[in-house]
Structure 1
Amino acid sequence: MPSGYPHPRSTRRELFDRVCQGAPLIETARQMGVSTTAAWVWWRNAGAMKLLWGGNIERGLAEQGDPDGPGGRGHRLNLDERIAIMRGVDAGLSCAAIAAQIRRDRSTVWREVRRNRNADGDYHARMAHSRAAQKAKRPRGFKLDDPGLCAQIAEWMDQGWSPKLIAEMLAHDYPGDRLARVSHETIYTSLYVQGRGQLRADLHKQLSTRRAARKTQGRTERRDKFNGVLTISQRPAQVEDRAVPGHWEGDLILGARGTSAIGTLVERSTRFTILLHLPTDHTAESVATAMIETMSELPAHLRRTITWDRGSEMARWQDISLQLQTPVYFCDPHSPWQRGSNENTNRLLRFWFEKGTDLRVHTKDDLKRIQDTLNKRPRPTLDLDTPADRLATLLSQAA
C-alpha cells in the first residue's frame, strides 16, 4: 500500500473517529482493510496527538479528553458543535454561516478551525475535540511553593504590610523576573485556602481586618451636631490635589467599648502619620491639649488646615484653631469617607491597635515606635517612597 492517501477522505475520517474513541490504531486499520503503514502516515500527517500505550498496544485518545464533555453557550465547544463545524467546512460554508447554525459567534468558529484543524488542513471533529481537551489539561504552577518567596512575604506581613503592598514591592524589586512576583490575590488565596503554598497557617491573623472575608460597613449614626463650623466644602481648592503640603486629616481610633482611644493625624501630601497619646480619656479637652502640644512642633507652613469628623472630641476646635493658627474643617454628617487618607491610615494602624482591646496599655514610646514604623513603610501612592522621606525633604527645603 502506498504511503500517500489512496483511500478517500471518508475512510481516513472513519479511522480517526474510531481511534479518537479509544480503539487501537493498528487493529482498527486491519479491521478496515487499510495498511498499517498507511494508517500511521495518516495519523502523523494529520498532526495527531501522541497515542497512549499499555500492554504493547496503542489505545487511542479515550484517556486524553472527554469527547462528550459539557458545552453550550458560555462554555467550551462540545462534540456536537464540532461535528456541525466539520460538516459546514466540508460544505464550503463561511464561518458566519456555521456560527449561525450552532448559535455561536463567528469568531469562535474561526478560532476553532484555525487552532484545532489537522496539520494537513483538514478539520476533523473528534480529533479537534480531543486536541482541545488535551490542551485544556495543562496544569498551572502555583508560585507560592517557593520557600524563599514565602519567607519574604511572611516577614513583610509580620510587619503589618498588606498583600497589595507586598505584590507591588515585589513587582518593583523584580521587574524582569516573573517567578519572583505574585499578585495580591494569590497571597489571599494562600491565606484562606488550605493546602495552597507554603505560607504559615496563622499568617492570615496579620491582616489588618483579622477577617477571612471582606465585610461591608454600615453607617454609624452620630448624635452630636456641629452648627456654624467650617465645612469641608469650604476648604481651599489646593487641598484636593495634594500638591501643597501641610493639610491634615484626623480622627480617633477607639478601643474596647469606646473607653480608650488614640488620636491619628495624616498629612495628605506625604501621608505622614502622627499619633496622639490619650492615656486617660478622649474628652474634648484631652484631645485639644494633645493636638496643640504635638502639632506645635511643626513649622507653620506644614500646618495649613485640619479636617476632622463630627465627633464630640472636637468640641474645643476653636481653641485648637486659635493656638495653632490653623483653620479646622469638618466633614459632612455621616461622611467619614471625605477624610479618605485618614480612614485608610486608621485601617493600617489596626494591625497594632486591634478592635476590642484596651488602647491605654500603649505608652507614648509605643506610639512613637509604631508611628515611625508606619512612616518608614513604602507607599504605592508615593511611588513606593516613604512618608518619612517625603516629610524630611520638605523640612530640609524649608531649612
Structure 2
Amino acid sequence: MALPKLFSYETRDEFFELVCGGFSLQRAAEVVGVSADAATSWWRSSGLVTPVIQYGAVGGLPGTAAPGVPGAQGPDEPGRQRRPLTSEDRSAIAVGLMCKCSYAQIGAMIGRDKSVVWREVARNRGPDGSYWAPVAHRAAHERRRRPKDFKLVVNRGLCRRIEAWMDEGWSPGLIAAMLRHQHPHMIMDRVSHETIYRALYVQTRGSLRKDLAAQLLTKRRTRKPHGAVDGRGKSLYREAFTISQRPAEAADRAVPGHWEGDLILGAGNRSAVGTLVERSTRFVILLHLPGRHDAASVAEAMIREMSQLPIHLRRSLTWDRGSELANYRDVEARLEMPVFFCDPHSPWQRGTNENTNRLLRFWLEKGTDLSLHTADDLARIAATLNRRPRPTLDLKTPAQALAELLANPAAA
C-alpha cells in the first residue's frame, strides 16, 4: 500500500496565494502539482469552504467584505460582535495576511474591530512571525481550557531562572521586563510581575521557593499599602536654592550630570550610608560614613567621591531638608556644583533617589548596623547595582550608560 504523498508548507503557501490571486482551485492545484482532491481538502480545512476570493476581493466569508475594496460584496455596515473567534474567522485572518490586507480590512471581513485582529495575530503567531489558522485555533482552544495550570507550576525551568535573579536582588518588575526582552514571541517563557508576586504570597499559585519573599527589597511576608513618609523642614535652608529653581534640563533628564542624594539609616538611626544617583544614567555612588553622619562627615565624603567625576558630570545636586547637609555651601564651593533642596514633606521630588534607596535595601537592610559595611563592601554593592539592567535605560546598565558619556564628553 502506497503511503500518501506529503507536501511542504511552501507548497501550501503557494497554493493559497494562487487562489487568493484569482485562480480556481483546479488551476491552482495543477500549478503547484497536487491533485484536485488534495486542493479541495486544503481549502475545506482552512475554513473557507466557498472559494469566493477573486481579484479585488480579499474576503472569503459570505456576506462580509473589506471597506473600499473594488468588487467586494457584502453589507454596508458589517456588525461587530463580542464573541470568541471561530476557526473560520482565523482562516480569514490567515488569508487576509497572505493578501497583505490591513488589520482594519481583515476586521471588516469577519465583523470584528481591528484591535481584535491585532491581538489575535500577536498572541498566536509563530516564532518566525507566521500565522497559521489551524495552529492558532488549537492554541486558543488550549488556553481556554479550565482548570488551568499556573505557568510557574508547569514551567520549572522558568522558576529556577526567577529564583536565581531574585537571589541577585532583582525585583519582579525587572525580571518580567527582562523575560519580555529575551522572549518577545514565546509567551510560555515569560510572566508578568504580578504573577511572580502572587507566587510569592500565595504558595498555591506557583512553585517558587517559600523563603523567596525574604529576597524582596521590602522583606514583607504579606502585601501592604505604602505609608506616608514624614519629612522635616529646616530653617537653615531658608537661603538655599529650592527645587523650583533647578534648571529645566534636570527635570527632563535630557542632560546628564544632575544628581540626587540622601542617607540610608541603620538601626536606631545610629549608622548611615550616603547615596548619590545620577538622574540620566541612574549611576550610583555610595558614601562611606563609618563613624558619624553629621554635616561635616557627609560633606567630606561627598566632596571626596564626587571630585573624581569630570566637571561636565557635576551640574547639580538635589537633597532633602535633613540637617546632614547643613554644610552645603562647602559642597557648592569645592565641587563647583549648585545644591538644590526639596520642598518640605516632598520625598517624591527626589524620585530617582527614593527608588534607588529602595533597591539598595536588598543589601543595606533596615534595622541593621550599617557601620559594619566597609568602604570595599559599599564599592562592591554599588558596582553590583550599576551592572544591573534597567528598564528605564532600555535594559542597558548604568555603568554602560555612564561609560558612553565618559567616552564622548561632547554628548554630555
Give the TM-score normalised by structure 2: 0.64
- With over 3 angstroms needed to count, the CA separation of the structure-2 counterparts of 1:143 and 1:292, relative to structure 1, is same
Kindly provide the amino acid, as one letter, of the partner of residue 263 in structure 2: L
* 1:159 aligned residue (159, 162, 168): 168
Tell me what 1:234 maps to: 245
Tell me what 2:230 maps to: 220
Tell me what 1:315 maps to: 326
* 2:352 aligned residue (334, 341, 349): 341
| 1:147 to partner: Cα distance | 1.6
- With over 3 angstroms needed to count, the CA separation of the structure-2 counterparts of 1:150 and 1:113, relative to structure 1, is closer
Kindly provide the amino acid, as one letter, of the partner of residue 223 in structure 2: A
| 1:276 to partner: Cα distance | 0.3
CA distance, structure 2, for counterparts of residue 334 and residue 150 of structure 1: 41
CA distance, structure 2, for counterparts of residue 331 and residue 268 of structure 1: 15
Does residue 300 of structure 2 align to residue 292 of structure 1? no
Kindly provide the amino acid, as one letter, of the partner of residue 281 in structure 2: T
Tell me what 1:176 maps to: 185
Kindly provide the amino acid, as one letter, of the partner of residue 146 in structure 2: R
CA distance, structure 2, for counterparts of residue 114 and residue 170 of structure 1: 28
Q: How does 1:242-391 map to 2 (within 5 A)?
A: 242-391=253-402
CA distance, structure 2, for counterparts of residue 350 and residue 343 of structure 1: 11
CA distance, structure 2, for counterparts of residue 174 and residue 114 of structure 1: 26
* 1:210 aligned residue (192, 200, 219): 219
Tell me what 2:20 maps to: none
Deviates more, 1:326-335 or 1:194-203: 194-203
| 1:112 to partner: Cα distance | 8.0
| 1:139 to partner: Cα distance | 2.1
Give 1 or 2 for the bigger CA radius of gyration: 1
CA distance, structure 2, for counterparts of residue 391 and residue 114 of structure 1: 49
How many residues align structurally? 273
Tell me what 2:149 maps to: 141
The DSSP-based 3-state class of the residue aligned with 1:262 is strand
- With over 3 angstroms needed to count, the CA separation of the structure-2 counterparts of 1:186 and 1:175, relative to structure 1, is same
Kindly provide the amino acid, as one letter, of the partner of residue 327 in structure 1: P
Q: Which runs of 5+ in 1 are unaligned?
A: 1-106, 116-134
Q: Which runs of 5+ in 2 are unaligned?
A: 1-78, 87-142
- With over 3 angstroms needed to count, the CA separation of the structure-2 counterparts of 1:136 and 1:366, relative to structure 1, is closer
CA distance, structure 2, for counterparts of residue 113 and residue 265 of structure 1: 53
Kindly provide the amino acid, as one letter, of the partner of residue 144 in structure 1: L
CA distance, structure 2, for counterparts of residue 350 and residue 113 of structure 1: 47
CA distance, structure 2, for counterparts of residue 178 and residue 114 of structure 1: 20
CA distance, structure 2, for counterparts of residue 248 and residue 114 of structure 1: 52
The DSSP-based 3-state class of the residue aligned with 2:169 is coil
Kindly provide the amino acid, as one letter, of the partner of residue 353 in structure 1: L
CA distance, structure 1, for counterparts of residue 407 and residue 228 of structure 2: 43
Q: Deviations over 1:243-271 (max 9, x none)?
A: 11000000000001100000000000000
| 1:349 to partner: Cα distance | 0.5
| 1:398 to partner: Cα distance | 2.5
| 1:111 to partner: Cα distance | 5.4
CA distance, structure 2, for counterparts of residue 298 and residue 112 of structure 1: 61
- With over 3 angstroms needed to count, the CA separation of the structure-2 counterparts of 1:137 and 1:182, relative to structure 1, is closer
- With over 3 angstroms needed to count, the CA separation of the structure-2 counterparts of 1:227 and 1:111, relative to structure 1, is closer
Q: How does 1:188-199 map to 2 (within 5 A)?
A: 188-199=197-208
Q: Which runs of 4+ in 1 moved over 4 A?
A: 110-115
Q: Deviations over 1:116-143 (max 9, x none)?
A: xxxxxxxxxxxxxxxxxxx987222311
The DSSP-based 3-state class of the residue aligned with 2:302 is helix
Kindly provide the amino acid, as one letter, of the partner of residue 152 in structure 2: L
| 1:224 to partner: Cα distance | 2.9
| 1:214 to partner: Cα distance | 2.9
- With over 3 angstroms needed to count, the CA separation of the structure-2 counterparts of 1:152 and 1:371, relative to structure 1, is same
Kindly provide the amino acid, as one letter, of the partner of residue 384 in structure 2: T
Kindly provide the amino acid, as one letter, of the partner of residue 214 in structure 1: K
CA distance, structure 2, for counterparts of residue 247 and residue 113 of structure 1: 52
